[in-house]
Amino acid sequence: MVRSARPGSPPEAIRWKDIMDQRTPPDLSRDAEAAARAVCLSAARRAGAQDRDGGFPGEDIADLARLGLLAAPVPAALGGAGLGEESGAGMLAAVLRLIGSGSLALGRLYEGHVNALQLIGQYGTADQSVRLFGDARAGHLFGVWNTEPAGAGLALEAAGDGLSLSGAKSFASGAGFVTRALVTAGCPGGGGTLMLVVPLEAGSRADLSAWRAQGMRASATGTLDFSGISLADGDILGEPGDYFRQPAFSGGAWRFLAVQLGGIEAVFDAWRAHLVRLGRGTDPHQLARLGEGAIAVEGARHWVARAAALASGGTNDGALAAPRIVAFVNLARLAVEKAGLDVLQLAQRSVGLPGFLNGHPLERLSRDLATYLRQPGPDRALTGAAAEILAAGEGVADLWDGGAP
């Protein structure tokens, strides 16, 4: 928690202290980025203690709730700040980046929370929106879980006059802490895939024993067994197949890219601070590596900003076809991954062995970033984007926005 600004701190640091210390949430229509900066600072200080098997950033989630960031993605008309709406994409990208730079585990959890609320806003009925957005304002943590263990996929079954679940979800970040889980499940009789929003009790049904990852240890990622949970029709969100509709399904990847960008920036800043602290900044080889790293970071920033704009409809004509949007976001996925891997390689070579020792700022940041950069289907994302480009009739300058101004 920020209690006082350090001597010589910039004015922004004092602003962050004010945000953290105030008793009522700030007006996030204006202050979402300032609130995210405050969370970034406190999360970065706590991240080392949370870096353990079964760890979870509980105090940071409490800060997100207290400062209004859990409710911020709710549409403004329903008591939020509209951070999850198309018009808020630029601010959302900044918030996700800042939270990710403080803690990638926290950023992963917050991105899932935002994703769930956006899906509710897109597919929920009026009654569902009022109820579930009210839960977000009350401090419930949402998550989106769609990965399943082999042979134990989640299924919705008829049970008397109601509905019941059988099966589990795996690689579920926030398992045991998420209290509103948006999950995919097979329809009774094989009628497709539905989205469900399942209320859960904190501390129940989760098994974190298999999550012994190199990084992202504080994300509480595990398996959650839903078998026997009873549901009502009001827990079903949208129609069969809605979860996979494009461009939202693939295009929404820009959100986790923004979180990854924050992690890349954190690695870069830890690397630069190491050089400054040891007085090694005059070495031309170190300067060359730092310059290459800065190019990678800035390139990733541009890819994320452009992907967020395209996926949210912020194009010159606002009418890009879904396959074209998906192709760009898929390219952005690969570009941000490459930037992250480049920065990791440059930073580790520059810092050397100390950067691999427990307690060095770079060590945990590198593990978390290397783990979070591993996303599903990178080869398919690249070749799918290339196929869309190959089939296009336009020149490359016209693919995404009708040409340069």
| Residue in the block written with tokens 């709406």 | 85
**Residues 208-226, buried b or exposed e (16+ Cβ, 10 A)?**
beebeeebbbbbbbbbbbb
Fold exhibited by the domain 248-398: Butyryl-CoA Dehydrogenase, subunit A; domain 3 (1.20.140)
Could you tell me which CATH number the domain at 145-241 has? 2.40.110.10
For the 11-141 domain, the top CATH level (class) is mainly alpha
Decide: 227 and 112 in contact? Cβ < 8 Å: no
pLDDT tens-place string over residues 281-297: 889 999 999 999 999 99
Rounded Cα gap, residues 275 and 281, in angstroms: 6
321-375 per-position pLDDT tens digit: 999 999 999 999 999 999 999 999 999 999 999 999 999 999 999 999 999 999 9
pTM score, whole prediction: 0.90
State which residues of the chain have pLDDT below 50.
1-14, 16, 19, 315-317, 403-405
Per-domain boundaries in the chain: 11-141, 145-241, 248-398
Label the pairing between strands 142-145 and 180-186: parallel
Provide the β-strand partners of residue 195.
Answer: 184, 237
Measured distance CA(83)–CA(75) in Å, rounded: 7
